[in-house]
Structure 1
């Protein structure tokens, strides 16, 4: 009798994580801008008998649509205009070396090095580096119409059209995005308080991470805007004061969660009422119908809510009393010089630049030796997949391949059935909104949305119809293979878990936070900044873990082994904050010996993480007085010490 072995049809976890769509609302204004910005240049080109010019301007508009991610209007100027300038330089360089063989290979490889290095500076520099290389590859691999300067003018004009459309409502809605960001922070805090007790640990963790993200976004948005005004804007000063006022509520949340008693529904409702007051700019007193507090934790929540309501509705805010965590803003030339110096001197920037240059050089050399139709697509694929700050190279290569296949299915129908001409304008009106709509859901979805648009514009320039489809698939797969081989497998740091050092730093910072939290001499604002910085660092570490979990073994398996310790450290910070709130509202403070004991254990944990050795639980050193406010904290530290971590 034959023996049957069950075959599991369940896909591996890393593959499921890669294919899972992220939940995100559709940005309808961005979708409308994309439709108009891509269709209008092509319509003008057709009207004047130069559809190739219109297609090139639409490609520039596509770059602008990809860059159009900022909420604040003045940030849109930076996010769209600066990358367009770099894109214009890239397409000009590419056009000048087109058809010059190995000179073109060397030029594009050099551009790739610069692109990779500047990508480490920041978000705007990253997109600028992307468009610099992207347009250089297109210019060097595709015969573009007109004189050498015309492609830069057309692509830049298309991008600036997106910027103009994005700024149309600025006179009517100036300051609205900043107010909405602050109001959304209060709403996220209301959701956190609503789920503090009675819900699962996972739901509480998710709500707390949402609050951290909302706070980071609001502070970044408001403070960066205030830097331009050098602290002189009363409206921005008021928004900072309103953001600072939410901190005591956030700090009270861990105490409520550890107490395990559900709050009255009136408390989250009061926070949402404060959020509405922020959004509308209300200055009249806000009546709060709060239940009478009966415990120290309830008093902390009550006091924090009343303070926030007073600050939010205050008609005037003294800027001298606002802690904005921001020193004197440096001049633009100083910040530019500092960023350039960091890019040139940073080992990380050189490493990323050399990796990108190696892959682009291999691609350009390969297509110079082997005839490949539409060869520039190989380098374009590498450009998108190997961006060092865009996440896992392995995941992006996989999603790029799958997204390309899905996009080619749509493109096949468009190229085979839709006649060239004015029908292309209608197709762009339908396809372009999908780009901003699908981009937040994941890289594979973005690729699937962009592919048919790129192929349609390429066909207008080259008139090859469905003959474009197979070369596009082959070139994309070649680019993914080069990126995975020369940009991923050859670099051990790509497939080793690299977050141990960052997590060790966070644990050491937590030890300092424990010591600072109960020191009477500590400035409350400094303590709040320390706590927020810790949560922000842990949020970044969590993001790195989530990226690592999308990779196959051994990387994904190692990341999964580290994960419980990340959660444990977050709960240690929560327990410290909760203990501080209890002390502030009546509980007996811990002794210095108790504080030193916990801090010492955390430093031992940090040292163990740096050595990447197995951590042995040391429970005997974590005893303390019964009923102490540090008892929950000691339990969380003991849990973290009990987690073994034999990670390489």
Structure 2
């Protein structure tokens, strides 16, 4: 990982801390800021107007969490992203109110809720948001008395969330599928950037951007398409246009390995298709493909053929989805599969137990020691101990830093502003900052969330500035519990946890080589698994998605202190090498598909076997013998680039092992998990 300028200049700030504090780039989300301003301050202002500020504060708390979860692009996913966590939060409010004031019962209940939250959070992003809000609302309600009958608090919580949801969906009737169109168009533009970078030094960076954009587009479009059965719908048309990108995605590595930049008209033509996808209208002129054909080699022909196919689909009157990547199973089937997989998952249980342990310790502590409004300790644990949202260690440090800054803001507000309409106005400003700061990073989000929660809770308990010092102490206690009981006591937390997963991807890459390049002589015309374009497309997309996830795991490990950050940085080149192996395999498949002599099955299987040896070496920390990567006159030239990349990947693994470095995910002397 590259050092920051401050680190090179002798700065004493640790590199992992500098990386965690560095704000994420990106534009200011003005629409989200406006929705947050109205969504949070509106219920509070209504409560003041009706003489029921406590009721307005309860609704504003629900609205605040709805704002935090309002992150999806498409309206359908936005609806689920807000509604599902809000329902889970309402359940948490009911549970928390039932155990309020019951010390031992509250400890048991919150510990069980922590276990459930941890298990649910391992399913996926939506389930993670629901699990977190279930735990947070239970913790708050178990420590903060609220007025009214038992059903009023969850109703107000849901009402505040429903108000934000309504604001988020106001444009749905007029904009419809605009977010899905934009996602597919962005995927086309990313592919255009990748083609423009072919043969250059920026190609791999552009390909990673393409992977993220295409994955996002498939997630958005498939989520909508899974609910529509008719064949003539916007979702099916968008899926067909997205599916048409597959050929371009497969042709791009071949163009890059050819070593010559493509004519500028090629990416320009893809950008024209992106504009046609995002802004459908009367049939436009097709790109002048004959002028963009470029060199007459196999890579050039592959790109031109893929571009013509994409143009036919984008400009077609009624495009039909190719279904090369398959259709999602019905929602009930997927839910049942996910539930079974979660209950059988050892990592899910480990995370659930870690979260339950920390929440149980926090609640036991505040039950034994008299701490005013003690819900903040367990609340801090819940926010920090979310490994799917980043490094636990860095999140604990960022939580402490953000809390100190946020408490400073809250102190100024509590001292300067009286209760009443001024509170609603200040809430509007702080709420508008919430999505803006959340986009910059966790510490910045904490800085915005802390004063907002404190001021809303002050409307309920009227402790004023006397609330600040206890909250600061509570935050430090919660961070300490998360660091000790949720981090240091679990060695898997402070070592890079991607070794076995990376080895699995290398095994998948070996199978991908066989799928793409090993022909079956018994099949009609000598066709083979490599001739099954659908199978190879599914394998390629799955590999790139997994590699993207592993990149995220490594980047999170790099924000940990030593030794995890050091090991992750040293093993990072292997991730890059495996990506190049997949690219070289795709390029070889394209060469064969456009006229090259296919390799003998034994040659392709030998390359796959070398990858299998690499995967085994990663798992067992075994040094690998050197393999010959020079051109073999008797071998198939199609495999030359692939052999070179496989040899480079094995060399990376062997060089790290020769230095005595443990493999990522395993301490020296331990057995593979």
Fold equivalence (TM over 0.5): yes
Shift of 1:263: 2.0
Shift of 1:388: 3.7
Number of the residue aligned with 2:43:
41
Q: Secondary structure at the match of 2:562?
A: coil
Question: Which runs of 5 or more structure 1 residues have no equivalent in the other structure?
Answer: 1-5
Number of the residue aligned with 1:139:
141
In structure 2, do the counterparts of structure 1 residues 306 and 63 end up closer, same or farther at CA, with 3 Å as the change threshold?
A: same
1:293 aligns with 2:297: no
Shift of 1:49: 0.7
Number of the residue aligned with 2:448:
449
In structure 2, do the counterparts of structure 1 residues 340 and 635 end up closer, same or farther at CA, with 3 Å as the change threshold?
A: closer
Aligned-partner Cα distance in 2 for 1:325–1:21 = 38
1:495 aligns with 2:494: yes
- 8 Å CA contact 2:115–2:352 kept in 1: the answer is yes
Shift of 1:623: 4.6
User: Which of 586, 589, 595 does residue 595 from structure 2 map onto?
Assistant: 586
In structure 2, do the counterparts of structure 1 residues 622 and 362 end up closer, same or farther at CA, with 3 Å as the change threshold?
A: farther
> Within 5 Å, which residues of 2 pair with 1:333-372?
334-372=333-371
- 8 Å CA contact 2:240–2:320 kept in 1: the answer is no
- 8 Å CA contact 2:251–2:299 kept in 1: the answer is yes
Number of the residue aligned with 2:410:
411
Shift of 1:12: 2.7
1:535 aligns with 2:544: yes
Aligned-partner Cα distance in 1 for 2:98–2:23 = 41
| More divergent stretch after superposition (289-298 vs 485-494) | 289-298
Question: Which runs of 5 or more structure 2 residues have no equivalent in the other structure?
Answer: 1-7, 520-526, 658-662, 667-673
Number of the residue aligned with 2:165:
163
| More divergent stretch after superposition (624-633 vs 87-96) | 624-633
- 8 Å CA contact 1:223–1:324 kept in 2: the answer is no
TM-score (norm: length of structure 1): 0.94
In structure 2, do the counterparts of structure 1 residues 296 and 341 end up closer, same or farther at CA, with 3 Å as the change threshold?
A: closer
In structure 2, do the counterparts of structure 1 residues 335 and 244 end up closer, same or farther at CA, with 3 Å as the change threshold?
A: closer
Q: Secondary structure at the match of 2:613?
A: helix
> Within 5 Å, which residues of 2 pair with 1:223-238?
223-230=222-229, 232-238=231-237
Number of the residue aligned with 1:438:
437
> Within 5 Å, which residues of 2 pair with 1:256-405?
256-282=255-281, 284-289=283-288, 290-294=291-295, 295-318=297-320, 321-326=322-327, 329-332=329-332, 334-405=333-404
- 8 Å CA contact 1:285–1:310 kept in 2: the answer is no
Aligned-partner Cα distance in 1 for 2:383–2:633 = 54
In structure 2, do the counterparts of structure 1 residues 231 and 573 end up closer, same or farther at CA, with 3 Å as the change threshold?
A: farther
Shift of 1:267: 1.4
User: Which of 87, 97, 100 does residue 98 from structure 1 map onto?
Assistant: 100
> Within 5 Å, which residues of 2 pair with 1:609-648?
609-619=618-628, 623=632, 625=634, 628-643=637-652, 644=654, 645-646=656-657, 647=663, 648=666
1:607 aligns with 2:616: yes
In structure 2, do the counterparts of structure 1 residues 124 and 292 end up closer, same or farther at CA, with 3 Å as the change threshold?
A: closer
Aligned-partner Cα distance in 2 for 1:78–1:42 = 25
Shift of 1:324: 4.8
Aligned-partner Cα distance in 1 for 2:610–2:335 = 42
In structure 2, do the counterparts of structure 1 residues 344 and 636 end up closer, same or farther at CA, with 3 Å as the change threshold?
A: closer
- 8 Å CA contact 2:44–2:57 kept in 1: the answer is yes
> Within 5 Å, which residues of 2 pair with 1:418-433?
418-433=417-432
Aligned-partner Cα distance in 1 for 2:399–2:418 = 28
1:564-604 alpha-carbon deviations (Å, 9 max, x no partner)? 11100000111111122222223333232321221111111
Shift of 1:428: 1.7
Aligned-partner Cα distance in 1 for 2:325–2:562 = 44
Q: Secondary structure at the match of 2:485?
A: helix
1:28-75 alpha-carbon deviations (Å, 9 max, x no partner)? 222111111101001100001111111111000011111111111112
User: Which of 595, 598, 622 does residue 604 from structure 2 map onto?
Assistant: 595
Q: Secondary structure at the match of 2:132?
A: helix
- 8 Å CA contact 1:283–1:313 kept in 2: the answer is no
Number of the residue aligned with 1:3:
none
Q: Secondary structure at the match of 1:307?
A: helix
- 8 Å CA contact 1:549–1:559 kept in 2: the answer is yes
1:119 aligns with 2:121: yes
Q: Secondary structure at the match of 2:439?
A: helix
In structure 2, do the counterparts of structure 1 residues 355 and 622 end up closer, same or farther at CA, with 3 Å as the change threshold?
A: farther
> Within 5 Å, which residues of 2 pair with 1:189-228?
189-198=191-200, 200=201, 203-228=202-227
Aligned-partner Cα distance in 1 for 2:76–2:430 = 28
| More divergent stretch after superposition (104-113 vs 268-277) | 104-113
Shift of 1:331: 4.6
- 8 Å CA contact 2:629–2:644 kept in 1: the answer is no
- 8 Å CA contact 2:631–2:640 kept in 1: the answer is no
- 8 Å CA contact 1:234–1:317 kept in 2: the answer is no
In structure 2, do the counterparts of structure 1 residues 324 and 345 end up closer, same or farther at CA, with 3 Å as the change threshold?
A: closer
- 8 Å CA contact 2:63–2:157 kept in 1: the answer is yes
User: Over aligned residues, Cα RMSD in angstroms?
Assistant: 2.0
Number of the residue aligned with 1:550:
559
Aligned-partner Cα distance in 1 for 2:560–2:340 = 33
- 8 Å CA contact 1:598–1:622 kept in 2: the answer is no
Q: Secondary structure at the match of 2:386?
A: coil
Aligned-partner Cα distance in 2 for 1:391–1:150 = 35
Number of the residue aligned with 1:564:
573
1:129-162 alpha-carbon deviations (Å, 9 max, x no partner)? 1111111111111111212221111111101111
- 8 Å CA contact 1:572–1:637 kept in 2: the answer is yes
In structure 2, do the counterparts of structure 1 residues 613 and 406 end up closer, same or farther at CA, with 3 Å as the change threshold?
A: farther
1:398-438 alpha-carbon deviations (Å, 9 max, x no partner)? 11111112212222221121222111121122111211122
Q: Secondary structure at the match of 2:622?
A: coil
Aligned-partner Cα distance in 1 for 2:181–2:613 = 43
Shift of 1:350: 2.1
Shift of 1:490: 0.8
- 8 Å CA contact 2:581–2:645 kept in 1: the answer is yes
Aligned-partner Cα distance in 1 for 2:438–2:456 = 20
1:162-209 alpha-carbon deviations (Å, 9 max, x no partner)? 1111111111111111111111100111111122233x2xx3222111
